[in-house]
Structure 1
Amino acid sequence: MQPAQLRLVLLALGAFTVGTDAYLVAGLLPQIAEDLSVPVATAGQLVSFFAIAYAVAAPLMSFATRRFNARTVLVAALCGVALTDLALVVASTYPMLAVGRLVTACFAAAFTPTAASVAASLVPPDRQGRALAYVPGGMTLATALGVPLGSLIANVAGWRGAFVFVSVLSGIVALGLWRTFGHVQPQQRPDRGERLVVLRKPAIWSMVGMTVLWFTGGFMAYTYISQIAAEIANVHGGWLTAVLLTFGVAAIVGVRLGGVGADLWGPRRTLVASVGGKGVAFLALAVTGWLAPGPLNAVVILFVVVAFWSVSAWATNAPQQRMFITRAPEDRVTALSLASSANYAGITLGASLGGLVISSYGAGPVLTIAAGIEFFVAAALITGGIAARRRAVREVAARQAELAGPRELV
């Protein structure tokens, strides 16, 4: 394996570890609730705490770590995750566990944007999309593999054993990163003034807004996928596990396609196709009963559409990061930290809004609203692309006119 390839794999393993830690709690809620004597709904707030803390911490950690090289940030973040998870093993009250999850989110927020920036720096520009796919690829594996594995460990050793597993894995990957990146030249980190330039770019904030929106639409549906599957196809138990597994496997395909698409077709076109694909999937699910009457037909369509939904959803990650980097090449870490912050803000908003809609109206309306959000974002991306091309044409024409100079009158 080539050195650059090995480093990309280790970055993906780090993202897998951080992602497993982020999503693990969702599968441990009944055990945590029983052990700490709190309602399951209260235990479920741990997921929201993590997402909110991550959204707030991502840009702050980018500023706080500006004096350190990338290897130090990556290794320190994973060591922080390892030590915090070990501390959670002895947590005896719900507030202690909540505080621990907030701290873990801060370390995760330091790792992911830096890992994506380093991945982009390891390859030529024409392969950045594929390199950027490694980090979300690790997060995808966390949902498809890490979370079920953590739940399996929890069934044997309790929920505390699952945190020990993540802690040990974090330490192993941190050691690998430290040794493998030992001879890599530290990245040039911009000073505070240069970082503030990124925050003043309208193009960055337009991407932040669109990212929040498409994650809101996506997680309005994904957060309640079990209830959606039950309402539209009467899927429960083992069949629901199969639906989730389908989503996870398709996500791996989507991450790869998004990276290739960003390199071959451009990040904007790939994003438009991915976001629009999610909208089509949500509409198809909303009208499944009308399109395919009968329980068997509904189940078949559910599996097909969930696979298409997952591919489309996860194909957004690499082109999204590529667009943020393109808009702030002088400070990739800050730009990518804003992208991560927008991701988790959308997750939190989507879960909350989806809960309100689905509790009041059911699965159909939440899917229809989510589809509308995705189509709006796709249209905004197309409009933004047209406007950008027109600006570029005007700038080229102005430069050519300036070079030509005034014509002499004959």
Structure 2
Amino acid sequence: MVTILFLEGWYGLNFRVYLLAFSAFVVGTVELIVGGILDLIASDLNISVSAAGYFITIFSIAFAISAPILMNVTARLERKKLYLLALAFFVVANLIVAFSSSYNLTLAARALSAMSGAVIIVLSISLASQLVPESHRGRAIGIIYMGISGSLVLGVPIGMVIGNAYGWRAPFILIAALSIVAMIANAWLLKRTAPSPVMPFKKQLSSLCTSKIISGQLISYLMLTGHLTLYAYLTPYIHANFEISPSLMSIVYFLFGITAVAGGGLGGLLADKWGPTKTILLVLVCFSGSLFMMTLASQASIYVFIAAMMIWGGLSWALSPAQQSYLIKQAPETIDIQLSLNNSIMHLGIATGSFIGGKVIESSSVANTPWVGGLIALLGLGAAIFSISRKPSRADVPPMQASSVAAAE
């Protein structure tokens, strides 16, 4: 109880926001951990490293496709019940991964893990935004993303250590155990929350099919695509420029994660203080520059490189709170579908960035991944400028929103 009161006093948020962030932390861990233990998985299952890499691809694709569909199908379910149900499926999926010896079954379990994880992430963001006043919305969403990025700080490095010590299956058993803890805590402390009024799926789509919303959604896609162009191949990129030990590599990821968590929190604070639009533009400019800076830093010492990497890491998660707040303001009546679609687009960006980075390496060198990623991120800045400069009008807004536009004018 003392800890809860401290958290509420320190950041001014309902303590349940931190509980939701813990669940987001667990989901983030299971998605990202595979990249750190690909060689162990490939060796145990007697498959190639590229085949093991499909465990990342299937997760991203399943997450992207299932998020908006599942949120629409489950729109009538009470939110707490749905949240606990998703956590239960998440536990089962990761236990299958931990104990399966079949490659195809493991792929299927990863897909199930992604589908249930998608519901958990979207509900975490949606519920967190409802637990606080609008003036603290950016901060609340930032805390959820601190949970996700926190998996980089603790989840992935610890998973790599546990995987190397006890086998690649051990981290997934740990994830299942943490998910059970999250289930118990949420069952005890999370309040029942009625779903939002259900809108027909066609009306939901029509409310999203405006140039302002579409270009706004593209911001996340292009930024994540640029980010993963380098991040998906960060280990080989570092090895190509520096000779470092596995233990130092874990420290590098740990430092990246620390700044990623800090960036998520800072992004939330900036979104509340300056507004989402100014924050989006500032973060995108700095993020694009940080990717170009990585090329220069790789020519210097490892210490300069780590410093530049930490700046890049912090900026990589600073956009999300402002981006989510921006989208919620554009179509508040379709919050769940907006957030689920945005998370789908983010995962498509992860998959696309990983693919583009691989093609860059095949056609030239891993050394080119930072500046290619930087160029893609600049396209995200262009999408942001276009979206923000668009003024909602009756020609650009579906009929269901026309009255709210008129009131705003």
Q: What TM-score do the two structures reach when normalised by structure 1?
A: 0.88
Helix, strand or coil: the match of 1:54?
helix
Corresponding residue to 1:261 among 241, 255, 270: 270
Corresponding residue to 1:19 among 15, 28, 32: 28
Is the CA contact (8 Å cut-off) linking 1:150 and 1:162 kept in structure 2? Answer: yes
Q: 1:90 to 1:299 in 2, by over 3 A?
A: closer
Give the letter for the 2:196 counterpart.
Q
Give the letter for the 2:306 counterpart.
F
Question: What does 1:33-182 align with in structure 2 at a 5 Å threshold?
Answer: 33-182=42-191
Deviation, structure 1 residue 310: 0.9
Distance 2:301 2:290 in 1: 14
Distance 1:77 1:271 in 2: 31
Instruction: Compare 168-177 and 228-237 and name the one that shifted more.
Output: 228-237
Q: 1:235 to 1:273 in 2, by over 3 A?
A: farther
Is the CA contact (8 Å cut-off) linking 2:216 and 2:383 kept in structure 1? Answer: no
Distance 1:191 1:380 in 2: 28
Deviation, structure 1 residue 259: 0.2
Corresponding residue of 2:198: 190
Per-residue CA deviations over 1:169-228 (Å, capped at 9, x if unaligned) read 11110121122124x442424232553343333322222222211111111011111222
Per-residue CA deviations over 1:232-251 (Å, capped at 9, x if unaligned) read 45555444333222211111
Is the CA contact (8 Å cut-off) linking 2:267 and 2:279 kept in structure 1? Answer: yes
Give the letter for the 1:250 counterpart.
T
Instruction: Compare 238-247 and 101-110 and name the one that shifted more.
Output: 238-247
- 1:309 and 2:312 matched: yes
Distance 1:204 1:69 in 2: 27
Q: Which has the higher Rg, Structure 1 or Structure 2?
A: 1
- 1:219 and 2:222 matched: no
Corresponding residue of 1:378: 381
Corresponding residue of 1:405: none
Q: 1:380 to 1:199 in 2, by over 3 A?
A: closer
Is the CA contact (8 Å cut-off) linking 1:275 and 1:378 kept in structure 2? Answer: yes
Corresponding residue of 2:211: 202
Corresponding residue to 1:343 among 331, 338, 346: 346
Question: What does 1:350-365 align with in structure 2 at a 5 Å threshold?
Answer: 350-365=353-368
Distance 1:171 1:83 in 2: 10
Corresponding residue of 2:369: 366
Corresponding residue of 1:408: none
- 1:244 and 2:253 matched: yes
Per-residue CA deviations over 1:325-361 (Å, capped at 9, x if unaligned) read 1122002111000110010000000001011112322
Q: 1:399 to 1:76 in 2, by over 3 A?
A: closer
Distance 1:175 1:385 in 2: 42
Is the CA contact (8 Å cut-off) linking 1:216 and 1:351 kept in structure 2? Answer: yes
Q: 1:283 to 1:151 in 2, by over 3 A?
A: closer
Is the CA contact (8 Å cut-off) linking 1:230 and 1:236 kept in structure 2? Answer: no
Deviation, structure 1 residue 271: 1.4
Give the letter for the 1:186 counterpart.
A
Deviation, structure 1 residue 389: 9.2
Helix, strand or coil: the match of 1:159?
coil
Is the CA contact (8 Å cut-off) linking 2:297 and 2:304 kept in structure 1? Answer: yes
Give the letter for the 1:190 counterpart.
V
Work out the number of aligned pairs and report it.
389
Distance 1:190 1:23 in 2: 33
Is the CA contact (8 Å cut-off) linking 2:14 and 2:132 kept in structure 1? Answer: no
Give the letter for the 1:313 counterpart.
S
Deviation, structure 1 residue 28: 2.9
Give the fraction of aligned pairs with identical amino acids, expressed as a percent: 27
Residue ranges of structure 1 left out of the alignment (5+ in a row)? 403-410
- 1:286 and 2:295 matched: yes
Residue ranges of structure 2 left out of the alignment (5+ in a row)? 395-401
Q: 1:39 to 1:128 in 2, by over 3 A?
A: same
Corresponding residue of 2:325: 322
Instruction: Compare 84-93 and 376-385 and name the one that shifted more.
Output: 376-385
Say what the alpha-carbon RMSD is for the aligned residues: 2.5
Distance 2:386 2:101 in 1: 53
Per-residue CA deviations over 1:28-68 (Å, capped at 9, x if unaligned) read 32332222221222112111111111111111111111111
Distance 2:324 2:188 in 1: 27
- 1:332 and 2:335 matched: yes
